[in-house]
Amino acid sequence: MIDMLNAEMITGFQEHLLHWYRKNHRDLPWRRTSNPYYIWVSEVMLQQTQVDTVIPYYEEFISRFPTMHELARAPQEEVLKRWEGLGYYSRARNLQSGVQEVVEKYNAKVPENKKDLLSVKGVGPYTAGAILSIAYQKPEPAVDGNVMRVLSRIFLIDEDITKVKTRQTFETILYDLIPEMEASAFNQALMEIGALICKPKGPICEECPLAHLCRSKAEGTQLHYPVKKKKMKPKDEAFVAVVLKDTQEKLLIQKRPEKGLLANFWEFPLLEMSDTQEDPLKVVKSYFNKKNHDLIIEWTKSEQTVTHTFSHLKWHVNIVVGTLREGTLNLGKMSQWISEKALKEYPFPVPQQKVMSIVGIDY
């Protein structure tokens, strides 16, 4: 398929790439260690997340959970707290259960073979390849978005990179390209080129060590690659966030379900609205009336609305503040009253933090 892959070309590819990497790579915290657990943590954090965002989270996470044992026995609440703001929180839950698996099943030794590694929760083809190559020096491919962008431009590969099949195409090519003895530097170099040189919008081909091999550069078609199917627009959803205080200034919060969006995070009770036009105050009153007719609550509607866009959803959150004067709310175990000061101990996702900021809660 790739007719350019003769021995001479392969050697040239490796030499130029590695030479550039030795000279130009960034000094990143996870590049100062070969501890497989640390490499693992960094790779999970880096999934769909930029390096600059990850650095402080990585430092704090490692300092709080310096070994797999400490992460394994920590309360999930605290793990989520350390992940707060990073997004894709299933990564945190899966990382912890993956680490628990490794502690119990493999005596706290991260597996060195691909089969066992891939069976660990939260470890997919990319992360397995990254750990095997970077921590264990094994010549395994680690194909992420950077690698696909770089290689698709060099070899004019026009398959849709959102498809699994396409990732496998790149892995096949890489088994021929990866130098037996320098898989770690090679894989990281390919990603570093993608991040610093072969950028999505403005590739800096003048500085690229592989420019002389790059077929899209020769054609001037760099920006046609990689080929990627367009994403759908986020769907609109409307809610009311109920910020309810009791007479002792305590706030009502509830825990989200253990599966799905923002799983296990805390929030001010969110009521679904049928459409954006509905009156939030009306929705709230009817909800609490139905629950308990003896409640006396003073309601104030905030003029402001929080909007928050996820990968696939756009939330419109109306805010209603209330004070419970009389009556008792029947609370399930997913709800509780807590002081404003205690809020800091609980993990809250960004849309809820926006609500706090609007109603003047210090978090």
What is the residue-wise DSSP string for 313-328?
EEEEEEEEEEEEEES-
Using CB under 7 A as the binding rule, whether residue 29 contacts DNA is answered as no
| Per-residue CA distances from 44 to 111, 147, 167, 338 (Å) | 16, 17, 18, 33
Task: Return all residues near 239 (Cβ < 8 A) that are at least 6 apart.
Answer: 270, 271, 272, 273, 315, 316, 317, 318
Total residues contacting DNA by CB under 7 A comes to: 64
Using CB under 7 A as the binding rule, whether residue 49 contacts DNA is answered as yes
Among 75, 202, 220, 360, binds DNA (CB under 7 A): 202
Using CB under 7 A as the binding rule, whether residue 114 contacts DNA is answered as no
Per-residue tokens: 267:
């929030």
Active site residues: 43
Using CB under 7 A as the binding rule, whether residue 5 contacts DNA is answered as no
Among 124, 158, 325, 344, binds DNA (CB under 7 A): 124
Using CB under 7 A as the binding rule, whether residue 303 contacts DNA is answered as no
Task: Return all residues near 350 (Cβ < 8 A) that are at least 6 apart.
Answer: 85, 308
- Choose the binding region for DNA from 8-16, 49-57, 70-78, 336-344 (rule: CB under 7 A): 49-57
Name the minimum Å distance from CB 7 to DNA: 28
- Whether residue 209 contacts residue 17, with contact meaning beta carbons closer than 8 Å, is answered with yes
Per-residue tokens: 30:
């996870």
- Whether residue 267 contacts residue 314, with contact meaning beta carbons closer than 8 Å, is answered with no
- Choose the binding region for DNA from 15-23, 45-53, 170-178, 269-277 (rule: CB under 7 A): 45-53
Interface positions, 305-344, toward DNA (CB under 7 A) = 308-313
Which CB, 203 or 280, lies closer to DNA?
A: 203
- Whether residue 346 contacts residue 253, with contact meaning beta carbons closer than 8 Å, is answered with yes
Name the minimum Å distance from CB 183 to DNA: 14
Question: How many other β-carbons are positioned within 10 Å of the β-carbon of residue 65?
Answer: 22
Q: Return residues touching DNA (CB under 7 A).
A: 28, 30-31, 42-43, 46-53, 85-90, 94, 121-128, 130, 144-146, 149, 162-165, 188, 191-192, 194-195, 199-202, 228, 230-233, 260-263, 308-313, 349-351
